[in-house]
Structure formats: structure tokens, C-alpha cells
Amino acid sequence: MLVPLYEHDGDVHAVFTRRREDLRRHAGEISFPGGRQDSPDEDLRVTATREAAEEIGLPPDAVEIIGALQPTSTVVTGYSIYPFVGVIAPGLRWELSPEEVAEVLELSLGDLRAGYARQRLMRRGLPIRTDTYTVDGNLIWGATARILSDLLERVPD
């Protein structure tokens, strides 16, 4: 998974995707661009940049990978996510994968910090209490919220 960041007008922004509502897994959820390795031998940094290219049209050579965050698991599907932080230029144009991505969200880290709350959500009929980030009605929770929390702990205000 790629955590694309850019600076604009003194604020650091992160790039997220909203998954399509008709997908079998994680439908309508907000996440960072990412997906599965093509082969077990594929470098996970290559996987991250390839998937970002496929999902939002971000050219791999437009990304400078500067580090990795803690590997994170999804609770429901049991996926292991290996997030890599990449710096990109501001003002890029996105080409969304029509099969996977409904929209791209560019949210400032300051707004994300301000939108933090611990909430009770209903998922599959069960109540869960979880960390969330909400900006302009866009709710980030689950593995993406855990990855974002790790990022925000490492990036100064």
C-alpha cells in the first residue's frame, strides 16, 4: 500500500481513495491506494507503486518512497498491509480505475488530526468501538485509521 503525501501552502496532504460501492470487499470505504502482490517475489515497494498507478494513475517514477509504516492487518478479511510512505508533487491529475475507485480524496494532515474521534460503529450488525478520522463527512476507520494514526505519530504538527 502507498501512503502518498505532498506539501501545498505549508500543509501536508495525504491522498486516499474511496472504493466503489459495488465491490465485494471493503465497498465504499476510504483507503490508501494499494493491492496484492503480483507474485511472492515482487518487492512490496513495487507492489505499492504499481497499485497506485493502476488505481489512480500515479506514475511510479513520480513517487519518492521515504519509508515504511508498521504492517497492519485487516480484522474482517485478515489481509496484511505493508504501507510505504511516498512523497509526490502537488497538483497531480488522477486517472481513476473505473473497476475499483469511486473518487480520490486529498486531505490535509491538520484536518485529519482535528477530525479524530473514538466512535461506536455498527459493522455487520455488531457494534465496535474504534478510532476514526472524519473530514468533510468522509469517515476513515479500520486498518486505514490505524495506518493513519501511525503516520500522524511520526509527522510533527
Model confidence at 89: pLDDT above 80: yes
Residue pair 6/12 in contact by the 8 Å Cβ criterion: yes
Judged against a pLDDT cut of 70, whether residue 4 lies above it is answered with yes
Mean pLDDT of 84-91: 98
Residue of 42 and 5 predicted with greater confidence: 5
CA proximity to 135, closest of 111, 153, 100: 111
Residue 135 Cα distances to 60, 90, 104, 139, angstroms = 28, 19, 14, 7
- Report the DSSP pairing between strands 138-140 and 126-135: antiparallel
pLDDT score of 149 more than 80: yes
How many whole angstroms separate alpha carbon 76 and alpha carbon 156?
A: 31
Type of residue numbered 123: R
CA distance 157 to 123: 32
Residues facing 125 on adjacent strands: none
Position 124 confidence tier, pLDDT thresholds 50, 70, 90? low
- Look up the pTM and report it: 0.92
Domains of the chain, each with CATH number or no CATH: 2-154 (3.90.79.10)
Average pLDDT over residues 65-71: 96
- Residue 111, helix vs strand vs coil: helix
Res. 36 pLDDT band, cuts 50 70 90: confident
Q: Is 28 left (phi over 0), alpha (psi -120 to 50) or beta?
A: left
